[in-house]
């Protein structure tokens, strides 16, 4: 989300979409713009705000600032007339094919504060990283030092598996870190997994509890293709430390793919 600094609303009126001349920022002091369509100004403005949100400009203060600029208490008071339906019915053409592409158009231009640089993953805990990439996580706050698994639960119920990226320190390999793309599979009978991981009965319908129980009981199946398994190995330096920025830069795309 980016903060809107200044903006202007532009009433573009009723127009056939095929004849609409467009809406831009040329010869203005604004950097961004979009427009919305609807039956009336209020609907078109709502559509306009939705377009802004999809562009990453979902500023929670914008609606109140629009109300202040328009002298209204809430967007419910924003004009709902004239409307396309009323105009067309008034002309006796409400059911004609020529009205199909006619809408009320409303535009907004704005400027915004520059995006704040994102903190590197090495400065974040694992749950914050999971949120950044729209996936889930189980394990220690720092998976590089103490193991952990990022996973996507969306295929669990329908297809019986969860894609994951698993971090594991291997003591028998000089305490090296391995990161692998893998699949957590759901067995037909979950009772052994629940018993092994002491999952309370009241939590056994929870998807995340099921995934974590299966991960603890059966582990995960490493993905591979013709070139071999999807595994990266990171060896510690002479002091036993692993370059965390190097790890995150190497596996970021794998984790991002979970939430895509």
| Same domain? 100 vs 131 | no
| Same domain? 36 vs 162 | no
pLDDT level of residue 220 (50, 70, 90 thresholds):
very high
| Same domain? 218 vs 144 | yes
Please give the average per-residue pLDDT across 128-153, as a whole number.
Answer: 95
CA angle 228/230/236 to nearest 5° reads 110
pLDDT level of residue 114 (50, 70, 90 thresholds):
confident
Domain's final residue, options 112, 134, 169:
112
| Same domain? 131 vs 245 | yes
Rounded to 5 degrees, φ, ψ at 131 are -65, -40
What element of type H or E holds 233? Answer: strand 231-234
pLDDT level of residue 103 (50, 70, 90 thresholds):
very high
| Same domain? 94 vs 162 | no
How many domains, the chain? 2
Domain's final residue, options 49, 77, 112:
112
Q: Could you give the dihedral angle defined by the CA atoms of residues 49, 71, 85 and 17, in that order, rounded to the nearest 10 degrees?
A: -40
Residues in the chain: 260
Owning domain of residue 190: 121-258
Q: Can you give the pLDDT at residue 156?
A: 96
Please give the average per-residue pLDDT across 184-212, as a whole number.
Answer: 96
For the cut 80, the answer to whether the pLDDT of residue 100 exceeds it is no
Q: Can you give the pLDDT at residue 246?
A: 96
Q: Can you give the pLDDT at residue 55?
A: 87
Give which of 135, 134, 17 is closest to 84, Cα–Cα: 17
> Which of 1-10, 89-98, 207-216, 241-250 shows the lowest per-residue confidence on average (mean pLDDT)?
89-98
C-alpha to C-alpha distance for 233 and 174, rounded to whole angstroms = 11
Please give the mean pLDDT across all residues of the chain. 92
């Amino acid at each position: 989300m980016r903060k809107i600094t200044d903006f202007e609303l532009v009433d573009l009126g009723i127009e056939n979409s095929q004849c609409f001349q467009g809406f831009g920022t040329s010869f203005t002091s604004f950097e961004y713009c979009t427009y919305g369509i609807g039956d009336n100004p209020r609907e078109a403005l709502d559509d306009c705000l939705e377009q802004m949100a999809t562009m990453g400009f979902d500023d929670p203060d914008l609606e109140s600032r629009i109300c202040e600029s328009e002298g209204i208490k809430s967007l419910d008071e924003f004009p709902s007339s004239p409307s396309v339906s009323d105009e067309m019915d008034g002309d006796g053409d409400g059911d004609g094919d020529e009205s199909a592409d006619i809408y009320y158009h409303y535009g907004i231009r704005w400027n915004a504060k520059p995006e704040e640089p994102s903190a590197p993953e090495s400065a974040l805990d694992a749950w914050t990283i999971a949120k950044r990439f729209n996936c889930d996580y189980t394990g220690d706050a720092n998976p590089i030092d103490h193991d952990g698994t990022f996973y996507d639960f969306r295929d669990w119920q329908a297809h019986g598996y969860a894609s994951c990226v698993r971090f594991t320190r291997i003591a028998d390999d000089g305490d090296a870190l391995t990161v692998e793309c893998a699949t957590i599979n759901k067995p037909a009978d979950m009772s052994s997994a629940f018993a092994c991981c002491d999952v309370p009965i009241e939590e056994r319908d929870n998807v995340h509890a099921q995934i974590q129980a299966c991960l603890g009981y059966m582990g995960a199946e490493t993905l591979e293709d013709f070139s071999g398994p999807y595994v990266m190995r990171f060896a510690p330096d002479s002091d036993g430390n692993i370059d965390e920025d190097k790890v995150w830069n190497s596996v970021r795309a794998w984790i991002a793919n979970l939430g895509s």
